[in-house]
Amino acid sequence: MKREVNINHLTRVEGHGAVNIVFENEKLKEIKLRFTEGPRFFEYITRERLYTEIPKIVSRICGICYVSHRLASISAIENAFEVEITPEIKLLRKLLVVGECLESHALHLYFLALPDYMGYPSTIAMAKDYPNVVKRGFLLKEIGNKIMKLIGGKTIHGENILPGGFKSVPSREQLQKVQEDLYKAIPEIKATISLFDSFDYPKFNKEHPISLCINGDKFALLGDSLGLSDGTLFTKKEYELFIEEKTSTYSTAKYSTIKGKPFLIGPLARINHHINNLRPETKEVISTLKTSFPSYNSLHANVARAIEMLELAFEGIEITEELIASTPFKREVEIKPKAGTGYGVKEAPRGTLYHRYTFDDSGRCISANIITPTAQLQAIIEKDLADLIEFSPDVDDIELRKRAEMLIRAYDP
């Protein structure tokens, strides 16, 4: 006997998706997670484009995390042309990343995930009973938005971020205001961590086969070295040697594996990997939680997101202190195009992002490859959905749909 459980439109996710689960004689036969956006051919569009055009083109891949695409592409461009940026430009980019993650994580936690755990269909429906919780979400999101607007030029698709630096840089007074906002964010983020730690998270999945994130001596969302949970380290130039991409017959996203296995990326992978590298202030908060790390429960990604917000807010305060002391500083360095290939990696809010470009001697793009978090998440989410069914053998179809959506939303795909 054949039975199908279909979710034709995944709600409260930042893309477009659907799920088809097929049982035969009450045993799982197949799971198909479909990301259903039409192909947009960004890699093809970049061909023959001048290097200055590429960041603004590829940033349109995502309106939420345009900063990640912009910085990954700029990193690859600077790598190809052997450009050395100043310490202040590096710090300003890190501060921009703080803003991006505060905005994106607040959006996900309060407006996409939280209604599942509070028993409401949406945040709007929740606002009547929990106005202060919803206000907290708006406050944190706005602090992130203000940082992105100040440094990036706009909240969405800002054009102030350039290869070599920025068109303009903030004043000392503007940086001081950012620092004040980040201090205000700290207690609100701690309340966010406590809120998401308070929920009961059923065990939905087995241990992840392997996980991936940027490696280093401290928690970082920008870098050149990657680390796997099995201890393997590799450089950004080796990314395509480790990430195996295949096309899928039922999804526009590619199906990615490492060593033939699905792999975890994103906040849970990062906190698991860097749990001993976090600031003492963050570790102190973690020590009070009932959720423990490293964790292999995918639903704990929401607690990990909130922890990342705290770690990044502390980092942002330190960065502004350094930048204020260095003001005024040089906003950009000179770029001289030449033939070559460059590589850029960046931890986007939902996972590791990779850009690679080859240029001719005039700085025009010959070829490109972009591996997005969505393309890397499909395999691990399907694996988790199979585990979910194994852990939930007696639930009816309505409850199965609900649990499947909650699990997928935890990845913020």
Helix, strand, coil percent values for the chain (each to nearest 5): 45, 20, 35
What is the radius of gyration, based on Cα positions, of the chain? Answer: 21
**DSSP codes of every residue in 368-409:** EEEE-HHHHHHHHHHHHHHHHHHH-TT--HHHHHHHHHHHHH
On whether 370 is known to bind a ligand per the annotation, the reply is yes
Nearest to 210 by CA among 140, 257, 166, 163: 257
CA dist list (Å): 311 to 1, 14, 185, 264, 336? 51, 24, 12, 21, 36
Residue 369 token pair: 């490859």
**Rounded Cα–Cα distance for residues 122 and 106 (Å):** 15
Edge-to-edge strand ranges of the sheet holding 27-35: 2-7, 17-24, 27-35
Nearby residues of 16 by Cβ (< 8 Å), 6 or more positions away: 9, 10, 35, 36, 37
**Rounded Cα–Cα distance for residues 177 and 349 (Å):** 24
**Rounded Cα–Cα distance for residues 20 and 32 (Å):** 5
For the chain, how many residues are written? 413
- 323 SS3 class: helix
On whether 365 is known to bind a ligand per the annotation, the reply is no
CB 224 within 8 A of CB 342: no
Nearest to 126 by CA among 138, 111, 141, 139: 111
Token pair 């069914």 is found at 389
Query: What number of other Cβ atoms are within 10 A of residue 384's Cβ?
Result: 27
Detail the residues annotated as belonging to a binding site.
Answer: 43, 62, 65, 370
Detail the residues annotated as belonging to a binding site for Mg(2+).
Answer: 43, 62, 370
Detail the residues annotated as belonging to a binding site for Ni(2+).
Answer: 65
Detail the residues annotated as belonging to a binding site for Fe cation.
Answer: 65
